[in-house]
Amino acid sequence: MAGKAAAPGTAVLLVTANVGSLFDDPDNLQKNWLREFYQVVHAHKPHFMALHCQEFGGKNYEASMSHVDKFVKELLSSDAMKEYNRARVYLDENYRSQEHFTALGSFYFLHESLKNIYQFDFKAKKYKKVTGKEIYSDTLESTPMLEKEKFPQDYFPECKWSRKGFVRTRWCVADCAFDLVNIHLFHDASNLVAWETSPSVYAGIRHKALGYVLDRIIDQRFEKVSYFVFGDFNFRLDSKSVVETLCTKATMQTVRAADTNEVVKLIFRESDNDRKVMLQLEKKLFDYFNQEVFRDDNGTALLEFDKELSVFKDRLYELDISFPPSYPYSEESSQGRQYMNTRCPAWCDRVLMSPSAKELILRSESEEKVVTYDHIGPNVCMGDHKPVFLAFRVAPGAGKAHAHVHKCCVVQ
């Protein structure tokens, strides 16, 4: 199926998915989620596929272990994946360790037609040929085929049980060496706090954490290669600017707690039109009267408020976004297009890349469109996050200039 003559080169599919909802309600969500995922696999027919999951196992990992096992078994043995005869699965299941647990799950699938694929051993500092299917879980720290870190507690002190961190693997496919980084950055703990400043205090925390990851993957320990960083970045729209724009003609009412005088709610009402309520804002409430503004033209009008990546414009590149905000969708199985009113919708889930990875993709572009950046399951409930994917082809010989440097095809 993969590798039709009409589109030469190596087809690559990178997918990121925050799957916490799937394990909180597996009976209603997993079947639909897998069906939509398999449809994307079938449509793009990748030779090499990476699926980066965050919140793997849901909020209560211990209670979800049986669902985790079933999900992994389904992915590895389903008919839809039968042409992928080699796989690597890395699951952080060390949920008892507050110091190390990230709840990240990384899946890599290799098509039977793909020859000579190698994975980097970070301890031995050499590439090893990939054969068979292998699953690694529990304490990933002892696995030399990846690097894993959880962000220090002092990055986000108000969240005592944070699972945020990253896992990095390195591959050599078609003479191209690249890092794949599964990442989960910090969320907005309070809509009210996020609204106070522009940029928000939470954007600053994410900036610090992402900068740490980028510095880590290009430090002096290993040779530099292209990299793709994809996961749940938790990037949010600049809340202060969004509220000012959505409620331009509104007056604001402040509600305070009687005992502490702390602001607990903001109510924005139209100046006329019977003082209709336009927006209500609480710690975990973002209730805007017209959700269509987030869906119209895939939310394009809101992209100007998506500013967090601009700090890294020289280090990270992203294709143009042409899909609606990926979070927070309703977890009701019949509400595939509806957003929850807990947070302002935002593009949390992204596939980003280094400048050299961008060149690799664009160099491989031909007259036929071979690069797609989109979300999965637009009309189906996929949980509170819609998965996001990047599909592209590496042109024959695109990595030849670097093959001698990476020694991908000589070390076994």
Tell me the per-residue pLDDT of 127-140, one tens digit each, with 9 for 90 and over: 999 999 999 997 79
pLDDT of 298-316, one tens digit each? 999 999 999 999 999 999 9
Tokens of 208: 């610090």
Distance (Å, whole) CA 143 – CA 194: 38
- The answer to the question of residue 127 being in a domain is yes
Number of independent structural domains in the chain: 1
Distance (Å, whole) CA 276 – CA 289: 9
pLDDT of 146-155, one tens digit each? 999 999 878 8
- The answer to the question of residue 348 being in a domain is yes
**Cα torsion through 123, 86, 231, 322, rounded to 10:** 140
pLDDT of 14-73, one tens digit each? 999 999 999 988 988 999 999 999 999 999 999 999 999 999 999 888 888 889 999 999
- The answer to the question of residue 247 being in a domain is no
Do residues 144 and 134 make contact, with C-beta atoms less than 8 angstroms apart? Answer: no
Mean of the pLDDT values across residues 110-123? 96
Distance (Å, whole) CA 53 – CA 376: 14
Do residues 189 and 114 make contact, with C-beta atoms less than 8 angstroms apart? Answer: no
How would residue 6 be classed by pLDDT, with cut points 50, 70 and 90? Answer: very low
- The answer to the question of residue 399 being in a domain is no
Judged against a pLDDT cut of 80, whether residue 2 lies above it is answered with no
How would residue 399 be classed by pLDDT, with cut points 50, 70 and 90? Answer: low
How does the average pLDDT of the chain come out, rounded? Answer: 91
Do residues 181 and 230 make contact, with C-beta atoms less than 8 angstroms apart? Answer: yes
Other Cβ atoms closer than 10 A to 402: 18
- The answer to the question of residue 281 being in a domain is no
What domain range includes position 88? Answer: 10-236+290-394
- The answer to the question of residue 282 being in a domain is no
Distance (Å, whole) CA 342 – CA 267: 15
pLDDT of 337-386, one tens digit each? 999 999 999 999 999 999 999 988 877 665 456 799 999 999 999 999 99
Coil, helix or strand for 358?
A: helix
- The answer to the question of residue 301 being in a domain is yes
**Phi and psi for 62 in degrees, rounded to 5?**
-60, -40
Distance (Å, whole) CA 245 – CA 393: 40
**Cα torsion through 204, 234, 58, 45, rounded to 10:** -140
How would residue 273 be classed by pLDDT, with cut points 50, 70 and 90? Answer: confident
- The answer to the question of residue 196 being in a domain is yes
The CATH number of residue 115's host domain is 3.60.10.10
Distance (Å, whole) CA 278 – CA 246: 8
Mean of the pLDDT values across residues 83-107? 93
Coarse DSSP helix, strand, coil percentages of the chain, rounded to the nearest 5 percent: 30, 30, 40
> Which residue's entry shows tokens 């189906």?
380
